[in-house]
Structure 1
Amino acid sequence: MRLFSSWAGGNKTEGIDAEGLRRSTRNAHRERTLSTEEVRTQSERLHELAVLSLFLHSAGTLEEMLSLFLERSPRVTSAVVTYPLLLDRRREVLTAQHLSTIDETGLDQASLAANENLAEIEYPLPLRSWRRSVMEGGEVAVVDDLKDVLGDVLGKQACDQIKQRLEITRTAVVPLVMEGEAFGLCVFLFSGAEPDIELLELAAGHCTLALKDIMTGEETTRFGGIDPVTWAHSRGYFLETLDSEVIRAKRYSRGLSLVFFDIDDFGEFNASYGHTLGDRLLRAVAMTLAGSVAPPEIVARCGGDDFVLVLPESNRAAAVELTSKVVDKLEALSVFDVDAKERQGVSVSAAIIAYPEDGGSRDELLAAAEIAIEQAKAERKAQRAPVQQLTPVQQLRLAGRRRSA
């Protein structure tokens, strides 16, 4: 089988024929039969894989997770060096800089052999490069010569020195891919042992999943103040803001009002029209509320279909006036297309809570709000009782008409 290819229009060999190499390594792996000793070893490695997964998913930071991966993955893979390279999407390079604070024997020995700190190196990803082909192809590639993988950056001499000093016999390159999204490559160096493709894929898979979880967590922390569905402030942000506003109102003897809104029959709306239209309705309500206030006032989503306006330096009378205007805007709101038959407004239950009349602390205000919004919902339900046999859309429309009458 041809393992090396030339680019079209030239005779120069530019790298490994990735597809041919994948087929070759896969076929060789399938043809191998396992002895009793190999079965026992395989069982031990699978146990270590389970332990590795537990450690990786318990890590709180990227550095901690990668340090654990470098420390424990050799018990699964039998590799003497584990070298994860993460994708920098902005610059289109594979980088090892995340390893700069990690001390690991195999990687340190490889760096000494190459006379180069492997944690400071970046590897480009040209459009037709072999590394990109392996990463985007999503399958493990195994080669005999390290130069085929890293030689264009490290150089022939450095690769040969690593191979000689660590007695490297095989190199495996494993894509870090999860649900079609590429996160990088992991290079495993072997001394004598034959790479087990399936175990490499499993180990790299757990690493990728942990990597994705950590990155998602970092994004959540970075954008934690924003609700991802409505783009309003989140409940956490609301609670922090309420804490600070209560302190400020108390210190300067100023007013503070909260207006809570609960969308009537939102569960029935979701059941009738689906969650996609339900999310659209939530966003439309959030945008309407946001358009009704100005800084330092804020809009937050504090529950499934619950929203709150935080109105610093505002008394109850001002909050009542604003609430009336908001309710009018919501009654005219529709998430349906212009030509759709159903074009009802949005009916809400509202409750106004004021500091210090309804509470002198965050917890007291929230407790008062919970009682007030439940009372408002009960009143709205009583108003709609005679028309319970109507559709949710008809009930919403009728409720809007009653308020405007």
Structure 2
Amino acid sequence: MTVSNVKTDKAAAAVPPVPRPATAAHIIKDDAEAIAVAHRLAAEFVKDSSKRDRERIWPVAELDQFSQSGLWSINVPKAFGGPEVSYATLAKVVEIISAADSSIGQIAQNHLGVVAAIRTVSDKDQQALLFAEVLKGTRFGNAFSEFGSKRAADFETKFTDAGDHVIVNGQKFYSSGALLAHLVPIVALDDEGRAWYAIADRGAPGLTVIDDWSSFGQRTTLSGTVIIDNVKVPKTHLVPGYKGYDKPTADGAIFQIIQVAVDTGIAQAAIDETVNFVRTRSRAWIDSGVDNAWDDPYTIQAIGDLTLRLHAAQALLEKAGHAIDRAVAEPTAESVAHAQIVTAEAKILSTEIAIAATNKLFELAGTRSTLAEHNLDRHWRNARTHTLHDPVRWKYSILGKYFLNGENPPLHAWS
């Protein structure tokens, strides 16, 4: 897409950038602290999560708390001053936050994925520069996907060489986190058709971020349009993302495992809401012969079934995290494929339980659970929206080809 056909008619709706943090972010010391901090933040984020969804209130203060807590730098390598926690821990952190507010959990996804990509593809100087930013509390957004392309990996956004910087032109959508980011990684092609992350300053001239996300779910991910009109990006911030997929690396599985964690978080929230509603508001059915809804044998069975299925998804999520750890430490065709396969298995189960739990909530809690005052439909809306990120039907294909024919999964961010 050249500058002449970049659509700038919405540029008047541009949202101004948010300021950089005034103080450096905390640095998490280990996995246990990461989990403890996630629980502490989740306890705060859940309080107004329904209101934020209902009124579409931007989670500005919450994102500042989240990134300043140190949880946005937990996969920065120890060699550069980061905690380098296990990806099983990182996934658990995202799940905990997502159970409180799945939009906030999703906003961190692309930031954490880009941090992983920098580790994989950047040279030492670039790693030192960009990891220092992350450790300070700088947030990456994303400008990856394009609305009108034939396939998700087809990009029209391009950059041209201009000496010590590049000039980027294009237009993006589904740009979760870009509105409230400090830096915006833009997926753009060079003249050989290779995809790079051109990491632009959020306030760079020509970079327009628009709040036009209108989905019925994940309403406060703010995943709208980014217009890129002759945006200058220094070559120090031009990351060769394509190198993460021209040979086996864990980059794709890392992007995927975070999606899984968002969905298990949504499922956990829905089951918790169901139990609370049944225990405090629901009535026993007329033919049940019991006085309390929580003594209904069919409700008891259903809660047991949902919880079992959630635990199975969580177990695979943890297993996938450890498989990714091994693939990061020693990336081979075999270790990377194994990480992709276990993550795909977890993605299938997490999608199924997120949809089942958010749907079953109303069946078990009863008619009064549909009242607008409770806003419980936000969990179903969030699950239905987020699980569309990449189709589970293709995960079954990946598994079948691997186990039946020994065919490794393709190398890209959706596998």
**TM-score between both structures, scaled by the size of structure 1:** 0.25
Relative contact order, higher structure (CA 8 A, sep 6+): 2
- Which protein is bigger by CA-based radius of gyration? 1
Greater per-residue strand proportion = 1
